[in-house]
Amino acid sequence: MREELLVYEINDFSLNNDELMLNETVFHNANGYIGIRANLEEGYPNGYDTIRGSYVNGFYNISEMKQAERLYGMAEEKQTMVNVADTQSILLQLGEETFSMFQGTILESKRLLDMERGFTSRVVKWRSPKGKEAEIIIKRMTSFYQLSLFTIEYSVKALNFNGDIRFISGHIGNVLNYSNPNDPRVAGESFVHILPEKMEIENQTSYITSRTSKSGLYVCTGVTNLLSKEGANAGTCTIKKEENSMEAVIDSSIQIGETVTLTKYTVFADTIRYDDCKAGAEGEMKKALSLSLNELYDRQKAFLNSYWKNSFVRIDGDDGLSLAVNYNLYQLMQSVGKDEHCNIAAKGLSGEGYEGHYFWDTEMYILPYFILTNPDIARSLLEYRYKILDSARENAKLLGHKKGALYPWRTIMGKECSGYFPSGSAQYHINGDIAYAITSYYLATKDIDFIAEKGGEIIFETARLWMDTGYFYKGRFRINEVTGPDEYTCMVNNNYYTNASAKYNLQWAVQFYYLLIKEKKLAPIVDKIGIREEEIKEFEKAADQMYLPYDEELKINPQDDSFLEKKVWDFDHTPKENYPLLLHYHPMYLYRHQVCKQADTVLAHFIFEDFQPMDTIRNSYEYYEKITTHDSSLSACIFSIMASKLGYVDKAYDYFGDSAMLDLYNTHQNSKDGIHTANMGGNYMAIVYGFGGLRLKEKGLYFAPKLPKEWKGYEFKIIYEGSHIEVKVTKENVIFTLLKGEAKNIYVNDKPYELKDSIVLIMTEV
């Protein structure tokens, strides 16, 4: 692996507020359990906006969701990922002067993310107003080895002075979540979610135990500060309690050329995972301090070494894009929950956009990546869905259904959190998405035990929900009043995507039923939910008769029954600054037009390609491309995949670039609120499913490789049925190598091959 492809570095002299906030996201540290935004340790002057945040995955509070007109069954409370105690804060005093980027002179300023070693760093050379020069290097890590642990190694080198040096290291309990009343994608109002209940100092460690206002959860943060001067302990540390916060004051002295280093350890423990979070934090602190910082760095590196072994994607001929793609894959590892109590939020653990909620993004955009590279993580994400299956059953009842389960559109702990149901709860396709993801996981792993223990039950319950939602009419099974993925078209009859995913869900309910009988594993599910063959026959009938709208004239699949009757949006007279449209037009105005926020039918054609002939898929792509704004970050990657499939490789390449750079270049102008994890997974798919043409089918593993003319080649690795396979595409050849495991049958452009060691195909002949 070439190291430079895993290092993202910028010179960062700008004190522009927008850029600072963007970098808080781009350089955040997370490990799936905790996430810390890259705020400046020393803070910002008054008047600067910042989202200063530390988060614990799955740790939420409940607050009232005010519905001006309370209709039956509408969500009345929401869950919010809580900003927990701030332990990033460190003030540096050199004599009587305090370090600030906004005073004195910045001689050098860099930010770096090292994805091979798993840390970020800030390197600043600063001249104080009185002329003291110091080099400050701040290295931060959220440990993959110990998920509760966040470290800051803060080193100061005196370049031209001798004197006193003081660190004031904060542990601040009175924190708020970020809010912006003008942006529907973040919380609209400020709310106190968490308050410190206990502040304790033990063995030079400060502990703050805080309680959420309504969800009844506690989190304890423990902070230890250690000072060293060229390796030796050197200084005094006094911890002071203040109202709702604590402060460690660490004093020492420094000589020219000398380096003084403060290492700040923070551990987090919450009552979702620990019975007693204070005892949990104490245990975690003990564990953290039992290793040296260098040993912790070594473990971080070892973890990432094995991560990249399966996950690294190389684009030969474009190092910038390679870096961007791997940046995205690194962020997925940083964001993904590692236990059944949590999942992967739309913004990961990098910010508060969408309040930390989990969406269909997980199943349709992110799971495909983990299924192929880290099947254990994929399984754990699906186990979370199993854990909230009872809530989904309740949700179905609330919405009037007599049977089945309906997953919430957005949630943390299982209850529906979408206030605006037309583009929230009405997106019933989430049921089909979860069923699709379970099926894909099965196709890639053949893990029938998971289907028997958890996945099958989900598939049957989601299938039941379709039967209860739709009905047979004139020989067709129809599903009315739902919303598909495209949120600019809401509450429609027979959304093509929804109907196609319901069909697939029902088909697989049937398949799994008979498979489980064959494997003698069905009985416990029958005992639990009483699924019977008569019901399975009904599923089969509905799947066979599922209505998939088709327009004879245009020879496309209309997005829904009334879509083509609407007026096409006037794109020519829409000023650039009016995008994204959702921030400038009333929803009803959008709903009256043919205009798509994101891939909808085009996405259905990607995942259910065997439902339609190629001509329909092509015509549809061309039709929808003209009316899709890609205002959602979930769109460009899908258009890239479909452009690849249709042979429009130049277009695929352009969409791919848009998707790869979305957060690093802040192209949607909201990355300050957090990364876009769905796009990151979609970006991976755009290479592997798009250019690589990979498909997981019942018959086997399919490829259809294409290469953009701008590249010399690309390569990726996948795990299929336990075998590790490397795929290398160059201008001349496509090479499949079996790295580990049993031989596999694969298909390349529908031609079967047996992959024993390696297969080399001539590119022009595949």
3-state DSSP of 141-165: EECCCCCCEEEEEEEEEECCCCEEE
| Element (DSSP H or E) covering residue 653 | helix 649-660
Residue 346 or 396: the one with the smaller Cβ distance to ligand BGC is 346
Residue 488 or 608: the one with the smaller Cβ distance to ligand BGC is 488
Pairwise CA distance, residues 52 & 50, whole Å: 6
Sequence-separated (6 or more) residues with CB below 8 Å from residue 642: 599, 602, 605, 606, 617, 621
Q: Please state the closest distance from residue 354 (CB atom) to ligand BGC, in A.
A: 6
Residue 270 or 486: the one with the smaller Cβ distance to ligand BGC is 486
Residue 60 or 648: the one with the smaller Cβ distance to ligand BGC is 60
Question: Any known ligand binding at 360?
Answer: yes
Residue 95 or 422: the one with the smaller Cβ distance to ligand BGC is 422
Sequence-separated (6 or more) residues with CB below 8 Å from residue 477: 470, 471, 541, 542, 543, 545, 546, 547
Residue 595 or 634: the one with the smaller Cβ distance to ligand BGC is 634
Cα 336 from chain centre: 7
Q: Please state the closest distance from residue 359 (CB atom) to ligand BGC, in A.
A: 4
Q: What are phi and psi of 369, to 5 degrees?
A: -70, -50
Q: Please state the closest distance from residue 388 (CB atom) to ligand BGC, in A.
A: 17
Residue 350 or 598: the one with the smaller Cβ distance to ligand BGC is 598
Q: Please state the closest distance from residue 429 (CB atom) to ligand BGC, in A.
A: 10
Q: Please state the closest distance from residue 582 (CB atom) to ligand BGC, in A.
A: 8
Pairwise CA distance, residues 305 & 300, whole Å: 9
Active site residue 284: no
Cα 367 from chain centre: 10
Pairwise CA distance, residues 26 & 674, whole Å: 8
CB 713 within 8 A of CB 737: no
Q: What are phi and psi of 8, to 5 degrees?
A: -110, 120
* 139-145-146-151 Cα dihedral, nearest 10 degrees: 0
Q: Which two tokens stand for residue 546?
A: 């599922």
Residue 318's CB is within 10 A of a number of other CB atoms, namely 19
Pairwise CA distance, residues 227 & 262, whole Å: 4
Q: Please state the closest distance from residue 662 (CB atom) to ligand BGC, in A.
A: 12
User: Which residues make up the interface to ligand BGC (CB under 6 A)?
Assistant: 346, 354, 359-361, 485, 487, 597-598, 632, 634, 678
CB 661 within 8 A of CB 703: no
Name the nearest CA neighbour of 203 among 226, 219, 220.
226
Q: Please state the closest distance from residue 365 (CB atom) to ligand BGC, in A.
A: 9
Residue 85 or 596: the one with the smaller Cβ distance to ligand BGC is 596
Name the nearest CA neighbour of 395 among 408, 384, 385.
408
Question: Any known ligand binding at 198?
Answer: no
- DSSP-derived 3-state class of residue 547: coil
DSSP 207-231: EEEEEESSS--EEEEEEEEEEEETT
* 378-383-385-389 Cα dihedral, nearest 10 degrees: 160
Pairwise CA distance, residues 602 & 644, whole Å: 13
Q: Please state the closest distance from residue 366 (CB atom) to ligand BGC, in A.
A: 11
Q: Which two tokens stand for residue 640?
A: 């890239």
Cα 253 from chain centre: 44
Residue 628's CB is within 10 A of a number of other CB atoms, namely 22
Biggest alpha carbon–alpha carbon distance for the chain: 89
Helices (H), 519-648: 523-529, 533-544, 587-591, 601-607, 614-626, 636-645
Q: Which of 41, 284, 355, 487 is catalytic?
A: 487
Q: Please state the closest distance from residue 677 (CB atom) to ligand BGC, in A.
A: 8
Name the nearest CA neighbour of 339 among 304, 391, 384.
384
Q: Please state the closest distance from residue 344 (CB atom) to ligand BGC, in A.
A: 11
Question: Any known ligand binding at 361?
Answer: yes
Question: Any known ligand binding at 415?
Answer: no
Residue 309 or 584: the one with the smaller Cβ distance to ligand BGC is 584
Pairwise CA distance, residues 87 & 43, whole Å: 12
CB 408 within 8 A of CB 415: yes
Does 613 sit behind a cis peptide bond, omega within 30 degrees of 0 on the bond before it? no
The CA-to-CA distance between both ends of the chain, in Å, stands at 28
Q: Please state the closest distance from residue 634 (CB atom) to ligand BGC, in A.
A: 5
Residue 35 or 713: the one with the smaller Cβ distance to ligand BGC is 35
Per DSSP, the chain holds a count of helices (H) and strands (E) of: 20, 33
Provide the annotated active-site residues.
487
What residue numbers does the annotated binding site for substrate cover?
360-361, 597-598
What residue numbers does the annotated binding site cover?
360-361, 597-598
